[in-house]
Structure 1
């Protein structure tokens, strides 16, 4: 995992905004799918449409470009529709990546054992 960064966002949303949020996410996902360094980008929501998670997996060198180039045009509207309540980050992000993730309240977890296939 040293060459990858994995992040899990927890988002709070108002159920009445879910339709608009879902449409916005469709645009973000379509744009993100064109990034060669994005290995996984998955949104999930609870039945009540009050909490969503985003699971993201990137090559370590691809996070900054995702945030600055792909996500940036959608960021203001995204943050109007949701509140980021938690961001867990796994891997070993470099300083520029940490600077961007810190803006979202990142908590960094350090690997100490295990493997990835």
Structure 2
């Protein structure tokens, strides 16, 4: 995982905001799908539409461009609709990436055992 960064966001959401959030997410996902360094980008919601998870998997060199170029135009509206309650980061992000993720309250998880199959 040293060449990848995985982010897991937890967001809180008012159920009445879910339709607008879902429309916004469709735009963000469409833009993100054009990024060759984004390997996985998936949103999930609980049954009552109050908790959202985003699972993101990037090549390590692709996180900053996603935040600065792709996500930035949507950021203000995104944060009007949801609150980021946690961000777990896996992998070994470099300092510029950490600077961006720190703004979202990142907690960095350090791998100490295990394996990945491809």
2:88 alignment counterpart: 88
> SS where residue 79 of structure 2 aligns?
helix
1:15 alignment counterpart: 15
Alignment of 1:1-117 (within 5 A): 1-117=1-117
Q: Whole-Å Cα distance in 1 between the matches of residues 80 and 5 of structure 2? A: 26
Q: Whole-Å Cα distance in 2 between the matches of residues 70 and 22 of structure 1? A: 17
Q: TM-score, normalising length from structure 1?
A: 0.99
Deviation at 1:116, TM superposition (A): 1.0
Deviation at 1:3, TM superposition (A): 0.1
- The structure 1 segments of at least 4 consecutive aligned residues displaced by more than 3 Å after TM superposition are none
RMSD, matched Cα: 0.3
Q: Whole-Å Cα distance in 2 between the matches of residues 114 and 71 of structure 1? A: 32
Deviation at 1:87, TM superposition (A): 0.2
Deviation string, structure 1 residues 29-83 (Cα, Å, up to 9, x no partner)? 0000000000000000000000000000000000000000000000000000000
Uncovered stretches (5+) of structure 2, i.e. residues with no partner? none
> SS where residue 89 of structure 1 aligns?
strand
Q: Name the count of aligned residue pairs.
A: 117
